[in-house]
Amino acid sequence: MSGLVSLVGAGPGAPEYLTRLGERRLQEADVVFYDRLVDPELLHLAKQAELIDVGKLPRFHKVKQGQIEQLLIDYARQNKRVVRLKAGDPYVFGRGGEESQCLVAAGINFEVVPGITSAIAGLAAAGIPITHRDYASSFHIITGHRQAANGGLDWANIAQQEGTLVFLMGMGQLPQIVAQLRQHGKPATTPVAIIQWATHWNQRVVTAPLAQIVSTVRQEKIGAPSLIVVGDVVKLRAVLQAPQTPLTGRHILIPAAQPSRLAQLLSDRGAFVGRFERSTPQALTVNLPDFTTYQTLVVTDIIAFEQLQQQLLTVKQDLRILASLKLVATSQRVAKGLEKHGLLVDTCTPLEQLDLSDPQLLIIGAAPILVTTGATWLALYRHQLPQQDRLQPRQYQAAIFPSTQAVTDLFNSVRPSQRQQLQQLPSFAMGEQVAAALITQGVQRVYTSQPSYTAILDKIEGWYQA
Q: Which of 35, 53, 232, 358 is catalytic?
A: 35
| Torsion sign, CA atoms 127, 129, 134, 139 | positive
Whether 99 and 113 have beta carbons less than 8 Å apart is answered as no
How many Å apart are CA 405 and CA 440, to the nearest integer? Answer: 13
Q: Which of 80, 86, 169, 459 is catalytic?
A: 169
Whether 229 and 125 have beta carbons less than 8 Å apart is answered as no
> Peptide bond preceding 451: is omega within 30 degrees of 0, i.e. cis?
no
How many Å apart are CA 422 and CA 111, to the nearest integer? Answer: 41
Q: Which of 53, 56, 232, 358 is catalytic?
A: 56
DSSP string, 41-60: HHHTT-TTSEEEE--EETTE
Whether 15 and 39 have beta carbons less than 8 Å apart is answered as yes
CA dist list (Å): 354 to 291, 377, 451: 19, 13, 22
| Of 187, 169, 177, 166, the residue nearest 233 (C-alpha) | 166
- Any catalytic annotation for residue 35? yes
End-to-end CA distance of the chain: 62
CA dist list (Å): 274 to 38, 201, 370, 439: 13, 10, 33, 22
Whether 34 and 54 have beta carbons less than 8 Å apart is answered as yes
- Catalytic positions are 35, 56, 169
